[in-house]
Structure 1
């Protein structure tokens, strides 16, 4: 981290680096970089849209899979968790095939009469971002579900029984009795998901290559482009990495402040 900080104060191409004048030039450049602002906005969209949906889905699935009457629990738990263990290459190939112009998704939508012409999912900014969000939900919902499912095993059953005796229905019992006892784990999942989204690289690189015109590129993907593509600029890339670190730290601190209400 110290080496990266020193690097972020330097300018030059490749290995021909020297300290910038002034030293904060790379950080000042962040505010003038249209591509960085675009990747920041795009990453923010992924964060605001995907993380809440993913946590809600994970919570619902965990509660369903914790039912004592559910059969084949092991199968369902494995099936939902499995996507996060699948390799990036095979995962990206499947999604690029699904959302191709002549892929199954367009065929299905046309067959249902919802669209007249195929949608260029990966060639338009809004739909390219949507594909990445769907990919993230598919890949990481099961991962968070496992944490929440583990936390559900420690929920005091007597509190649930007491709520039912007092006349609470299933929704009231879940929302007012179960969820409050899951708050520490929900907070942990929220922080991990936020940090992971801010550092998102795989989906941006493998599914859309950041296109079209940088519109689906994440900040970490842009950092990679600066470092190893075109004219490598390690100093400015290090400044971008510290901007990501700062965002991660600030959002984690806010979540801890809001979510941790222990006395």
Structure 2
């Protein structure tokens, strides 16, 4: 009887998830223009090491991951602790305001960021009026500033998403633990590191893995804000896969190979995060 309840879900997942994954794996061992493919063994995987565009995309993606994810997790933790304070007024407004970017259109907010950080955009106008810079910054044409713009964009959008998880988890933390800590003389910082963080450890691990997967699959922001430029300085792995499939001469076999790099990275980084968190299950 139990199998009857789950058979439709098993068939659906197998058909729309596992079958495409297996087909993509088989496709990664093929090469050719368009759909005119033939098996070439490990040639596509060897090609990765001699592909400067792939190396640039991989480097950029890892930079986004190593900078943006820790910053976002820390900000989400801080916001959740502040907005969990029972004495804070207008908590509902602040929670909605921080979470609201998560439900905005990916394309719409990316286009807004593109205009905000343009040479004649609002950010440059503000910096000039505050006399912090003497001339407009080339946010989207300077390699470093373009990366920084992408990092700020994805941090702005996804911090509230992680904050909601931490807020919900904090509702289940016994308030008496904080009261006992205050009676024992623990400061707010000590309570944060010795009570809040340990109690939220499973949620922090979950959000870290989800954020890692999302950053490795980064596409919309890069596509709509910088188009991978300047000179591939912001190109992500997902955008390179798109280019291989639709912008350049179609090479679906090599695109599938690059896509499996994301799979390998997700597996490796997830294992590392589980090990660092001390959770072997």
| Cα deviation code 1:17-54 (max 9, x no counterpart) | 1111xx00000000110010111110111011101110
**Map of 1:147-166 to 2, 5 A cutoff?**
147-166=165-184
Runs of 4 or more, structure 1, over 3 Å off, are 260-263
Distance in 2 between residues matched to 1:3 and 1:83, nearest whole Å = 35
* Equivalence for 2:39: 19
- Runs of 5+ consecutive residues of structure 2 not aligned to the other structure: 1-20
Distance in 2 between residues matched to 1:262 and 1:177, nearest whole Å = 22
User: How big is the shift at 1:261?
Assistant: 4.2
**Map of 1:23-34 to 2, 5 A cutoff?**
23-34=41-52
Distance in 1 between residues matched to 2:39 and 2:92, nearest whole Å = 57
1:200 aligned onto 2:238: no
Q: Is the 8 A contact 1:160 1:178 kept in 2?
A: no
* Equivalence for 1:181: 199
1:9 aligned onto 2:44: no
1:191 aligned onto 2:202: no
> TM-score under structure 1 normalisation?
0.97
Distance in 2 between residues matched to 1:260 and 1:188, nearest whole Å = 13
Q: Secondary structure of 2:140's match?
A: helix
- Runs of 5+ consecutive residues of structure 1 not aligned to the other structure: none
Q: Secondary structure of 1:46's match?
A: helix
Query: In the alignment, which of 28, 39, 42 is matched to residue 57 of structure 2?
Result: 39
Distance in 2 between residues matched to 1:211 and 1:262, nearest whole Å = 41
Q: Is the 8 A contact 2:205 2:273 kept in 1?
A: yes
* Equivalence for 1:224: 242
What is the number of equivalent residue pairs in this alignment? 261
Instruction: Provide the alpha-carbon RMSD of the alignment.
Output: 1.1
Distance in 1 between residues matched to 2:100 and 2:174, nearest whole Å = 29
Query: In the alignment, which of 132, 136, 142 is matched to residue 154 of structure 2?
Result: 136
User: How big is the shift at 1:187?
Assistant: 0.7
**Map of 1:236-247 to 2, 5 A cutoff?**
236-247=254-265
User: How big is the shift at 1:260?
Assistant: 3.5
Distance in 2 between residues matched to 1:121 and 1:242, nearest whole Å = 32
Distance in 1 between residues matched to 2:187 and 2:261, nearest whole Å = 47
Q: Which range moved further: 54-63 or 110-119? A: 110-119
Distance in 2 between residues matched to 1:196 and 1:6, nearest whole Å = 24
Q: Is the 8 A contact 1:35 1:214 kept in 2?
A: yes
User: How big is the shift at 1:89?
Assistant: 2.3
**Residues 24 and 134 from structure 1, CA distance in 2 versus in 1: closer, same or farther, beyond 3 angstroms?**
same
1:122 aligned onto 2:140: yes
1:112 aligned onto 2:130: yes
Q: Is the 8 A contact 2:228 2:236 kept in 1?
A: yes
**Residues 181 and 130 from structure 1, CA distance in 2 versus in 1: closer, same or farther, beyond 3 angstroms?**
same
> TM-score under structure 2 normalisation?
0.91
